[in-house]
Structure 1
């Protein structure tokens, strides 16, 4: 992963600054596991439909908002493997593919303290990499009840309206939508 992040070309100032931090923290102990309570690696997935005009979002129980799919790497060094597993587990979709082998985005995310599975989790950082993926919006979606309350395909604009996390909408989801438009022009 170190080489992938090293080779990654930042899209904007946020990604440039976050890339610097990600390269530093990759050298620390336990950043691939939740044992590092200050911060650890996660993957997120911006999943487009087959026509590339909608994005799949889940209604996340912890954040009480429509959000992208993804999860903790939990020690796995193959982040693409984690991304695929997370999308399949969180959506029930079996046929999901990567639109690129490269990282699509990267970010350092703050996570507020919350209760998960009956235990309090202190505020911490998610050192996140994002993959661009594709699935058929006609395939059946299945809610992962311990993590989300809903799954839905949104137009890019409606995805921004659906999320109740202003920082994510302004800094992450809007960026991802812009990057998708640029990516599809190629």
Structure 2
């Protein structure tokens, strides 16, 4: 019987790392900023599976999601409990995550309390930004579009001060940097995946 690796061991991250390399290597960036962030993130992934873990001080890959309602006319954002800005749902990957899309869907479900979410496995953006993790690090955040079922009811988690649904063209303030640029590629994903939205 093979013993499980301790939390944070590189062996825990092998499948997720392989998925990240495959997804980003084959992805067509949605903006010049996303292209630059993709190149930086592929460079980070050269460090191996440890680049998925928050303990990697040089930077680590995270996953987030812009959640659309069933009509595509509202997005769900959280007022983050630590930096007090409105932002898409998401965060750190966990050793049990096998794919980036799976990590983003898990985070979106945990932070929204909404059941029955669906995800488009093709990213809509990549962003690199500084964070306070480990005394100062970088999040290489891979962002996805996620779709809520009709009648979805949100529930605030410990991560957030509040949750709110907003029209994509009227996002709240203060807004985290990079969140607004998710709207255009996110709506394109919504139209591709949900061509007949609920009314």
TM-score, normalising length: structure 1: 0.83
Task: After TM superposition, list the pairs within 5 Å mapping 1:70-149 onto structure 2.
Answer: 70-75=90-95, 76-98=97-119, 100-111=120-131, 113=132, 121-136=134-149, 138-145=151-158, 147-149=159-161
Cα deviation for residue 183 of structure 1 reads 4.1
Q: Which runs of 5+ in 2 are unaligned?
A: 1-19, 193-199
Tell me what 2:10 maps to. none
Residues 156 and 163 of structure 1, relative CA distance in 2, 3 Å threshold: farther
Are the aligned partners of 1:48 and 1:133 in contact in 2 as well (CA < 8 Å)?
A: yes
Are the aligned partners of 2:78 and 2:164 in contact in 1 as well (CA < 8 Å)?
A: yes
Cα deviation for residue 61 of structure 1 reads 0.6
- Kindly tell me the number of residue pairs found equivalent between the two proteins: 171
Cα deviation for residue 185 of structure 1 reads 5.8
Q: Which runs of 5+ in 1 are unaligned?
A: 115-120
Are the aligned partners of 1:33 and 1:41 in contact in 2 as well (CA < 8 Å)?
A: yes
Aligned partner of 2:33 among 6, 11, 14: 14
> C-alpha offsets along residues 40-79 of structure 1, whole Å, 9 cap, x if unaligned?
1100101000000110001111111111100111333422
Are the aligned partners of 2:117 and 2:148 in contact in 1 as well (CA < 8 Å)?
A: yes
Are the aligned partners of 1:59 and 1:149 in contact in 2 as well (CA < 8 Å)?
A: yes
Structure having the higher Rg? 2
Coordinate RMSD, CA, aligned: 1.9
Tell me what 1:68 maps to. 88
Tell me what 1:175 maps to. 181
Are the aligned partners of 2:124 and 2:186 in contact in 1 as well (CA < 8 Å)?
A: no
Are the aligned partners of 1:137 and 1:153 in contact in 2 as well (CA < 8 Å)?
A: no
Structure number having the greater strand percentage: 1
Provide the rounded CA distance (Å) in 2 between the counterparts of 1:74 and 1:28.
18
